[in-house]
Amino acid sequence: MRELTTTVNLPELLREALGTRAEIVGVERLRGGSKKGVYRVRLDGAGPAAVIVYRWAPEENFWPDADDEPPTDPLTPTTGLTPYLAAHHALREAGVRTPDLLYATELDATGTNTATGTRTADLAVVEDLPGGTLESLLLHDPTRAATPLAELARALDHMRHAQAPHYGSVGHPYPFSAAPAEQLVLDRALRDLTEAAARDATIHPAHDRLAARLHDLRSHVHPRTAYGLVHGELGPDHVLLDADGHPVLIDIEGLLHFDVEWEHTFLRLRFGEHYTHLARPDLDPDRLALYALAQHLSLVAGPLRLLDGDFPDREAMLGIAAHNARAALATLE
């Protein structure tokens, strides 16, 4: 497990964030973050018992460089303080709860952090949510989870209706290309298919049939002119609960305006039987079919690519890739 770099002057950072000196009694790196460091800092004093520090820096990113990733693809994973702040503002404007932002500081043009005066990283300090994850609650007490699930469904409705006439990151709300969203998904899915076929022995012999299936699904999708807010990776592990049990969205940097069917295909994958609480009957079934296969292929190629680096939970990534390879192949039956 990576440790919080000593170049972060935590006492100074927290004094800026909290307005008072707080005694630090413990620091732990939380599991799960693959693009940024997420640290819980435990405190002793009159303020909060703990805060969360986000740290964006190359050495915190487990993903290997993807030099062939088109820079104009708004579905390309986004990270950094700037997209985080844009997403935080957009979600709050839509009435969706995210952790309270206590402080943020970024590198200036010289690579110097504006708060600490050292070459370090973009940093944010946010509230620590005491209620655990929705994923844990669904596992241990699904009956009690019904209330935050219903609240999450309402939050998704708020996001759906926070529309823009173009798709793209909330930091860049206009399209990078003239291609409709469904063509963007097809092009990305074909790239993921090529990579998945090179990395997974079960996908390789089905490459041509899966490509034909993608093209067929794309042919049934008609253009759209309005796009809702989409988290992009909204599993139950990315929903925390506050002290009153209300859901709070985290890992929000990839927020964009896009087809809400893209969100719902991922929700259906990650929430499983509990997705019925989040489902909406008026989604476009043709988009759902295309985007579901695209998501499966992405979840084969992506986890296997992540394992080119030193991501610690390798068995979990292998399991995700294997599960989604089987799901992709099942669309051919």
pLDDT tens, 269-295? 999 999 999 999 999 999 999 999 999
Report the run of H or E that residue 25 belongs to, with start and end: strand 23-29
State pTM to two decimals.
0.88
Select the more confidently predicted residue: 330 or 173: 330
pLDDT tens, 95-148? 999 999 999 987 554 445 555 444 457 899 999 999 999 999 999 999 999 999
Instruction: Say which range, 73-82, 156-165, 254-263, has the weakest mean pLDDT.
Output: 73-82
- The residue segments making up the domain with residue 326 are 10-330
Q: Which runs of E-coded beta strand occur in 64-115?
A: 101-105
Reported residue count of the chain is: 333
Q: Tell me the backbone φ, ψ of residue 163, rounded to 5 degrees.
A: -95, 160
137 within some domain: yes
**Does the structure show a pLDDT above 80 at 165?**
yes
1 within some domain: no
Is residue 6 a contact partner of residue 55, using CB atoms and an 8 Å limit? Answer: no
Is residue 231 a contact partner of residue 252, using CB atoms and an 8 Å limit? Answer: yes
Per-residue pLDDT, 256:
94
3 within some domain: no
Per-residue pLDDT, 310:
75
Per-residue pLDDT, 21:
73
Q: Tell me the backbone φ, ψ of residue 125, rounded to 5 degrees.
A: -115, 125
Percent of the chain, pLDDT > 70?
87
Instruction: Please state, in angstroms and rounded to a whole number, the distance separating the CA atoms of residues 103 and 126.
Output: 7
Instruction: Please state, in angstroms and rounded to a whole number, the distance separating the CA atoms of residues 166 and 228.
Output: 10
42 within some domain: yes
pLDDT tens, 40-74? 999 998 789 999 999 988 777 766 565 445 455 77
Is residue 100 a contact partner of residue 129, using CB atoms and an 8 Å limit? Answer: no
Neighbours of 317 (CB within 10 A): 19
Residue 280 token pair: 């909406």
Instruction: Say which range, 67-71, 88-92, 256-260, 301-305, has the weakest mean pLDDT.
Output: 67-71
In the chain, how many domains are there? 1
Per-residue pLDDT, 47:
84
Instruction: Please state, in angstroms and rounded to a whole number, the distance separating the CA atoms of residues 42 and 40.
Output: 6
Q: What is the CATH number of the domain that holds 240?
A: 3.90.1200.10
Select the more confidently predicted residue: 29 or 322: 322
81 within some domain: yes
Instruction: Please state, in angstroms and rounded to a whole number, the distance separating the CA atoms of residues 205 and 207.
Output: 6
Q: What are the start-end ranges of the H helices in the chain?
A: 10-18, 81-93, 134-140, 146-161, 181-199, 207-219, 260-271, 285-306, 314-330
31 within some domain: yes
pLDDT tens, 190-213? 999 999 999 999 999 999 999 999
49 within some domain: yes
Q: For the chain, what is the mean pLDDT? A: 88
SS3 category, 200: coil
Instruction: Say which range, 110-114, 156-160, 215-219, 241-245, has the weakest mean pLDDT.
Output: 110-114
**Does the structure show a pLDDT above 50 at 227?**
yes
5 within some domain: no
Per-residue pLDDT, 145:
97
Instruction: Please state, in angstroms and rounded to a whole number, the distance separating the CA atoms of residues 184 and 302.
Output: 17
Mean pLDDT, rounded, for 229-251 = 96
Is residue 103 a contact partner of residue 126, using CB atoms and an 8 Å limit? Answer: no
AA letter at 250: I
Per-residue pLDDT, 177:
66
Pick from 261, 252, 255: nearest CA to 293 = 261
**Does the structure show a pLDDT above 70 at 253?**
yes
- DSSP structure class, residue 34: S
Per-residue pLDDT, 277:
96
Instruction: Say which range, 2-6, 38-42, 310-314, has the weakest mean pLDDT.
Output: 2-6
Residues 6 or more apart in contact with residue 107 via CB below 8 angstroms: 113, 114, 119, 120, 121, 122
AA letter at 229: L
Find tokens 């740290």 and name the residue: 55
Residue 40 half-sphere exposure, CB side, CA atoms within 13 Å?
12
Beta pairing, strands 247-249 & 228-230: unpaired
**Does the structure show a pLDDT above 70 at 7?**
no
Is residue 217 a contact partner of residue 289, using CB atoms and an 8 Å limit? Answer: yes
